Structure 1
Amino acid sequence: MSFKYFDKLSQDFLELLNDKKECNVVIEVDKEENMKSFTSHSVVLRCRSTYFTKELENIVTNESQVKTILKPNISAQIFEIILKYIYGGIVSIENIEIKIIYELMIVANELEFKELSEKLESYLVEFKASWLRTHFSRIYHSIFDSNKCNEFKGLKQFYNDIITKHPNLIFESEDFTSLQEAALITILENDNLQLEEIKIWDYVIKWGIAQNSTLPRNLEEWSEENFKTLKTTLQQCLPLIRYFHISEKDVWEKLKPYRNILGMQLWDDLYQQRLFPNQPVKSLVLPARIISNPELPQRVNELISTIISEEHVAEISTWIDRKSTIYSLTNVPYKLQLILRGSKDGFQPKTFWNMCNGHAGTVVIAKVAGTDEILGGYNPLAWDNSKTQGTYMETNDSFIFSLKNGNIQNSILSRVQDEDRALFYYDPNYQKTCGPCFGNIDFLLESGVSDFTKDKQCSTYDSDYDFNYEKRIRTTNERFSIVDYEVFKIIKK
């Protein structure tokens, strides 16, 4: 029989953390004005982490017999949590932002606290899936930054499951070409990737060319050396393409210009297959991808938005129904049907009017460039691009909003107060520069160069007009551009 007193042991070691008498290690974290120093005991650090064991072996003591470790990439807030874990074995994540929990997981992994890193990873996947979906692109790229293939297996599986069903989320993202090769290979290996093989080929070529900035833009100007460069870049990806499941037309139009990177044997086999389909070929023939449903209909509780989370959907649904208590995630009465996504369909104002024309009961969601702000508006009426002159639309059910996100602590709801001027529908001439407009520019997406991401012309305020909504949804008067925007039709479940 043994008696275990881990709680007391943990408490005693936490008290040791505050005892500076025999500290012989200084750890400086963060940088510039945010830099902070923590003191510690080398024996504790070495006992708890192989990372610190290796670090301390390579650092020379100063005249006071103290070793200094520099970690400018770790914030003071994160490292304070790590130190308490090192000494007391306790990590409390109550009342901590999800972003901080994610960063804590990254740091725990870096410092080789595998137990803590894996626990935080499991917590995020199990309980914070909607946040992970909202921050899809950023996190997916970051978890493949490491050279260690065994890291973050749970998160990688979580995101690869999403990509399998919705591959355009990664292939059509703005930062697709910065994707790590290991991540791209993982995607290409998936037999269930729901995308036509010729489109996969196009994306792979796009990625490969982007890795070599010296390649000529015009393919007709490419030299033999240029093709060798691309072939070397894509040597791990090319064997994963299902060439024999690409149509003859696409082989001729899309593959033939790049036949120099395919190799003579593969090209001959592709040609032979068209002439003698029953005759065996020498090249490896991978099975066709399993496309469960080519149209990939959106389903409830699957990733729909790349900007907002399921919690945001519950909040917007509550506002639509004018409820005083926010719907629980299991009780949301509406689902979203995507009409338009800027990063997929383009950011021209005219695109909005063309694609949203005739759709009623819609919500516009926009992510502001350079901030954590997510702005939007709900329109119960049908958008109409056929107005011969600018027209105000009447309703008392529309509203605009700012959603809680990142550094934005609380959501803001602003209902229409001048129902005669709830929305403004532009005539065809102004549709070239102006998108959705709520009130007298209480919330407007606008661009003088016909691209909402290029110039700072979007607005939630104009001093020349009166407000038509209850309150402002931003704390600044400055105009802004956006990173992305989406328009959804609100559908009753």
Structure 2
Amino acid sequence: MNDNKFLPKLSQNLLDILNDEEYYDITIEVGNDPYIKIFRAHMVILHYRSTYLRRILSTNKKKNDGTLVHIKLSNILPEIFQIILRYIYSGRISLEEYDNSDIINVLFAASEFGLQELIVDIQSFLVKTKADWMESNFNLIYQTSFENDSFLELQKFCTDLTSKEPDKIFKSPNFSSIPENLLVSLIQSNNLQMSEIKVWEHVLKWGLAQSPELPSDTTNFSKEDFKTLKNNVRQCIPFIRFHNLSSEEFLDKVLPYRKILPKDLLYEDLLKYFMNPNKKSKPRIVTTKKIDINSKIITIQHAELISKWIDRLEITDEIENAYKFRLLLRGSRDGFTHKKFHKICDNRPRTITIIKVNNSNEILGGYNPIAWKSNDYEFFGATKDSFIFSFKNSVDVESYILSRVKSEKYATYNHSDLGPSFGVRDLDLYGYTGHCNGTDYEKQIRESTDKFSVEEYEIFFPIKFVNFYDIFDNFNYSKQVEIWYEYYDVTIEVGNDPYIKIFRAHMVILHYRSTYLRRILSTNKKKNDGTLVHIKLSNILPEIFQIILRYIYSGRISLEEYDTSDIINVLFAASEFGLQELIVDIQSFLVKTKADWIESNFNLIYQTSFENDSFLELRKFCTDLTSKYPDKIFKSPNFSSIPENLLVSLIQSDNLQMSEIQVWEHVLKWGLSQSPELPSDTTNFSKEDFKTLKNNVRQCIPFIRFHNLSSEEFLDKVLPYRKILPKDLLYEDLLKYFVNPNKKSKPRIIVTKEIDIDSKIITIQHAELISKWIDRLEIKDEIENSYKFKLLFRGSRDGFTSQTFHKICDNRPRTITIIKVKNSNEILGGYNPIAWESNKESFCITKDSFIFSFENSDDIKSYILSRIINEGFAIYNSINFGPTFGFGDLDLYRNTGRCSSYYYEKKIRESSDKFSVEEYEVFQLIN
């Protein structure tokens, strides 16, 4: 069960509490003259939502004389505190509504009030949506971020930015005053765009600036001066990559400061290194030209490296012309479907695919110098210049693997049902899933050959030169509210002797979360003498109330933890307390996960569902079940006591498995039992007796399908009760109908033999109808032999791949395919009387196959049946496809299907567009 689904309701209720004028117990004076505002609030909420306010409240205890607590907060603007207060109550904030400067002030306030989760999200929002503004106000942002250890994401943003554009810091007039931890974070970055000698010079400049009294010339340094400078830069020294310097740079720039280097390790090691003529260093990867890229996944350093791979340059080479990486497609913006990929990217040469692997820092990608193509048949694209690559850690540009194509004719793979694909699964994408396990490129770019999930992917078209931006995301509120035991002002006595329990609670919470408790509290007003309000709830078990109370406070409930009988009691309690959103979800949980239990306790559930108009989903479940198995109700000893609305809902169902004469007889039986004083023989009925019976069944009569009766049934069973029928319409109409020898009726579809089927998609009524189509019977015919539908394959259990389908279903004749279309009630299917054979890659002949659809799975009459008309193309076998009827008349490819009209009588869907598959099953028919 989704733990967060009730939080919006809880959030709104708590926001209502903020505007409460009855239960507040504290006033807060915010700001300084002349900008002061008084806010009303509730100590219990402030205490548990803010560590800062908890400390203040600990020295401002609530008194029992009714006096309000009053506190002052002069160090925050009233308009900023209002934003913070709304967040404290609701757990929600829409940062898009505020100016950038206000958002910064809210961030400072969140830090002051100890709202750690808000601090994290504001930083994320700023980095993702306000990068340009932060660049323009860089000095403010970087100084702020390094003065507060909570602002780690802003610190990282500043470090990353200065790594790419170090002059923002190193040539700033404020460089000397930057915090030491900022300088350290900059120089240890692998992506710092600065030569090592410049890094060293700036570290020295900063170190000297921390002690202005030091001489400007090192020849005048005393021993103490060197000690002072050594102490100033001691945190930076370990991150200087001295081995990347030239011998001349070391001699001219480092040797004069040798006294600040750790002599026992670093200095002696460096002397040996620079005296070695064969020394090799690993320089930083420095961007030599400005790269323009708008990416959520890679940085300009990644783009620079990819550009060099395209031009077949070494890392240390300088590219002649910088690229602009023009964004063509982004999954989160344009969608992850292969259809959208081909619509945007087909026929464009020289594209770069970039993939962010879900729940990791891993980046994958590939370069295709030729154009992507799509049609309904796969083919390979040949090129010698394609490559695939990975970065194991996105923040370390040196953690790459580059793999160039070795089987040139299999360089790229084109198919309308796949996204970008390199080789035979060397790297490919299908929706949110990808693979890396082929052999057409030099080497594997991932350690694992398992499928991976895609968080984001982008396609770029590299062209020569321009400028760069950033993107946008939202955050979600998922903060759990606690049950609060301090500041309580009401006690609740729950249960009956000897099972009584006292609960402590807060009137303001109960008032805004439960309509039932609001009514009770309206007659139990809070007094100003400190006396607690006390209420009694005797009609609920203490353990059930505890579950309800936790839900009221937290907006969360884990139904999986409770016995089914307890869940039923929680449902009754939710109805009593007016928790409508919980009522809906408990019913949904019961129907989806506890259907067997409901069947076993059917009498309890159906009576309950029809006694409470809030239990509509349970009511529908009971109606559907009794339509299939009417004896559960009609032969129950409690039949006479069922509510009238239950009886009406049953007899109006198209799927009721009962003949019309039986329906009529049971309606009469029920109507007579409502007035036990009526004679058992209608020949003894008075005019008033008929009136009584007529009144008892008047809601049922419109749903009796009298036209489906035989003349004999009408004569024997209905005519004696003609006085209870509406004479002016129904009775005279029926007389004319039964006198007409050419009368036609449309009977209910009734299961005539027991069908055995284990399906998540269809019912026994669907299975009966399909069985009749196989035997070429009419709907009203009775099948001679009932079938067992043996489940062979289920997508959600076995996987949706064509290979798995063929592995399980090949060489089995007489199979039924059943498909549930995603986000709809639509069912599609087909019958193949011959075997599936994946090794043939050809059409197979039969005159007995058919395809079908049910537009609405709840309405068995909403079907379309379409038999084969071109027998030579009845079935298509291919290892690359799932069950396929005709030439796209109905076929499946993984989670996608289509329905055209070529070789079968008619289309079974209005739309010819591809559709997504939620579930599909394959059954074998056994007599």
Q: TM-score interval w.r.t. the shorter chain?
A: 0.5 to 0.7
CA distance in 1, matches of 2:756, 2:690: 40
Aligned to 2:551: 85
2:637 is the counterpart of 1:174: yes
CA distance in 2, matches of 1:135, 1:298: 23
Q: Displacement of 1:163 after TM fit?
A: 1.7
CA distance in 2, matches of 1:189, 1:64: 60
Whether the 8 Å CA contact 1:195–1:291 is kept in 2: the answer is no
Among 271, 278, 293, the alignment partner of 2:735 is: 271
Q: Which runs of 5+ in 1 are unaligned?
A: 280-284, 305-329, 332-491
2:587 is the counterpart of 1:116: no
1:122 match: secondary structure = helix
2:504 is the counterpart of 1:39: yes
Deviations 1:171-192 (A, max 9, x none): 1112111111111111122122
Whether the 8 Å CA contact 2:488–2:504 is kept in 1: the answer is no
Aligned to 2:687: 224
Letter matched to residue 88 of structure 1: S
Deviations 1:26-79 (A, max 9, x none): 433332322333232211111112232233224467897555544333211110
Deviations 1:348-373 (A, max 9, x none): xxxxxxxxxxxxxxxxxxxxxxxxxx
2:519 is the counterpart of 1:54: yes
CA distance in 1, matches of 2:635, 2:672: 16
Letter matched to residue 258 of structure 1: Y
Letter matched to residue 204 of structure 1: V
Deviations 1:71-92 (A, max 9, x none): 3332111101111111122323
Give the TM-score of the pair, scaled to structure 2: 0.29
CA distance in 2, matches of 1:292, 1:205: 22
CA distance in 2, matches of 1:303, 1:55: 47
CA distance in 2, matches of 1:106, 1:303: 30
Whether the 8 Å CA contact 2:656–2:750 is kept in 1: the answer is no
Q: 1:72 to 1:194 in 2, by over 3 A?
A: same
CA distance in 2, matches of 1:143, 1:190: 17
Aligned to 1:10: 481
CA distance in 1, matches of 2:548, 2:683: 56
CA distance in 1, matches of 2:633, 2:594: 20
1:153-164 equivalences in 2 (<5 Å): 153-164=616-627
CA RMSD of superposed structures (Å): 3.2
Q: 1:250 to 1:212 in 2, by over 3 A?
A: same
Deviations 1:196-244 (A, max 9, x none): 0110011111111111132233433321111111111111111111111
CA distance in 2, matches of 1:37, 1:277: 75
CA distance in 1, matches of 2:499, 2:749: 51
Whether the 8 Å CA contact 2:623–2:646 is kept in 1: the answer is no
Equivalences, count: 293
Among 546, 562, 577, the alignment partner of 1:96 is: 562
Whether the 8 Å CA contact 1:27–1:69 is kept in 2: the answer is yes
My pick for the range that moved more, 50-59 or 77-86, is 50-59
CA distance in 2, matches of 1:220, 1:121: 47
Q: Which runs of 5+ in 2 are unaligned?
A: 1-93, 96-117, 122-475, 765-790, 793-925
Whether the 8 Å CA contact 1:145–1:180 is kept in 2: the answer is yes
Q: 1:80 to 1:57 in 2, by over 3 A?
A: same
1:447-486 equivalences in 2 (<5 Å): none
1:325-340 equivalences in 2 (<5 Å): none
Whether the 8 Å CA contact 2:661–2:713 is kept in 1: the answer is yes
**Percent of aligned positions that are identical:** 33
Letter matched to residue 647 of structure 2: L
Q: 1:31 to 1:210 in 2, by over 3 A?
A: farther
Give the TM-score of the pair, scaled to structure 1: 0.53
Among 275, 284, 290, the alignment partner of 2:748 is: 290
Aligned to 1:242: 705
1:30 match: secondary structure = strand
Letter matched to residue 501 of structure 2: K
1:172-211 equivalences in 2 (<5 Å): 172-211=635-674
CA distance in 2, matches of 1:252, 1:178: 29
CA distance in 2, matches of 1:61, 1:227: 59
2:606 is the counterpart of 1:128: no
Whether the 8 Å CA contact 2:517–2:577 is kept in 1: the answer is yes
CA distance in 2, matches of 1:60, 1:289: 62
CA distance in 2, matches of 1:221, 1:209: 14
Whether the 8 Å CA contact 1:28–1:70 is kept in 2: the answer is yes
Larger relative contact order (CA 8 Å, sep ≥ 6): 1
Deviations 1:288-329 (A, max 9, x none): 44314233435447999xxxxxxxxxxxxxxxxxxxxxxxxx
Letter matched to residue 481 of structure 2: S
CA distance in 2, matches of 1:59, 1:303: 53
Whether the 8 Å CA contact 2:658–2:750 is kept in 1: the answer is no
1:170 match: secondary structure = helix
Q: 1:208 to 1:70 in 2, by over 3 A?
A: farther
Letter matched to residue 632 of structure 2: L
Q: 1:30 to 1:248 in 2, by over 3 A?
A: farther
Deviations 1:261-304 (A, max 9, x none): 1133433332222223469xxxxx9x744314233435447999
